[in-house]
Chains A and B, each alone.
Chain A
Amino acid sequence: SQELEQSPQSLIVQEGKNLTINCTSSKTLYGLYWYKQKYGEGLIFLMMLQKGGEEKSHEKITAKLDEKKQQSSLHITASQPSHAGIYLCGADISDSWGKLQFGAGTQVVVTP
């Protein structure tokens, strides 16, 4: 069973609209990573969150880690075609350096 649950599994958003992806863990998160992947390619690192309540932004993408450190959200404002792809969350759920668990990913489609 997945220890990291991502939702939704996929979403279609009209260009210019906002979207939110959630990542929920059954265990305390020591670190939470957001990646983007184009189909058939490697993962591109977006952001890392470690502290409860932490929020980071880069361009139109904002990620938050809740106070209890068991859920994170990724929010994209005014989506553009370049935001299309698969978004994956990865998490440190143990104190073993480098071992990450990944969510199943959220496929984002941006329509004109």
Chain B
Amino acid sequence: DGGITQSPKYLFRKEGQNVTLSCEQNLNHDAMYWYRQDPGQGLRLIYYSQIVNDFQKGDIAEGYSVSREKKESFPLTVTSAQKNPTAFYLCASEGLSTDTQYFGPGTRLTVL
């Protein structure tokens, strides 16, 4: 089945630790996106990548890093520099011929 997978679904980390969230897609989409969702707020764009080995900062990139070494994968690292990392993180992908972005199931990160 084609789709976007994110793992794990729930993640707990201690303050000061870096953590990497996984996002994989087998839809052959060129573009991939990372969003953060907080209660009462819409999705905010962290980073996006439109092609392998290239990515751009979104609206709230501080404290995050990404890589795009393969078309299928776009991992997000939440660093210790991110002041409020507890949130729901959503990954999405989009192809040139698709009407919209397709979303993964999300990862809920809780920093203790």
Contact = CB atoms under 8 A, between A and B. Distances in A.
Interface of A: 2, 4, 6, 9, 33, 35, 40-45, 48, 88, 90, 97-105
Given A40-B108, A98-B31, A98-B94, A45 B102 contact: yes
A99 B33 CA distance: 9
B106 interface: yes
B101 A98 contact: yes
B74 interface: no
Chain B interface SS verdict (over half): strand
A62 B48 CA distance: 30
Give the one of B6, B35, B42, B99 with max A CB within 10 A.
Answer: B42
Give the one of A33, A45, A48, A88 with max B CB within 10 A.
Answer: A45
Given A98-B31, A98-B48, 19 more contacts: A6-B42, A9-B40, A35-B103, A40-B106, A41-B105, A41-B106, A42-B104, A42-B105, A43-B103, A45-B102, A90-B43, A98-B50, A98-B101, A99-B48, A102-B35, A102-B44, A103-B42, A104-B40, A105-B42
Ranked nearest first, the 6 interchain pairs of A and B with the lowest CB-CB distance are A102-B42, A42-B103, A102-B43, A43-B103, A42-B105, A104-B42
A85 to B, nearest CB: 14
A43 B90 contact: yes
Contacts of A97: 31, 50
A88 B43 contact: yes
Contacts of B55: none
Contacts of B4: 42
Contacts of B99: 45, 48
Contacts of B41: 104
Contacts of A102: 35, 42-44
B45 A4 contact: no
Contacts of B42: 2, 4, 6, 88, 101-105
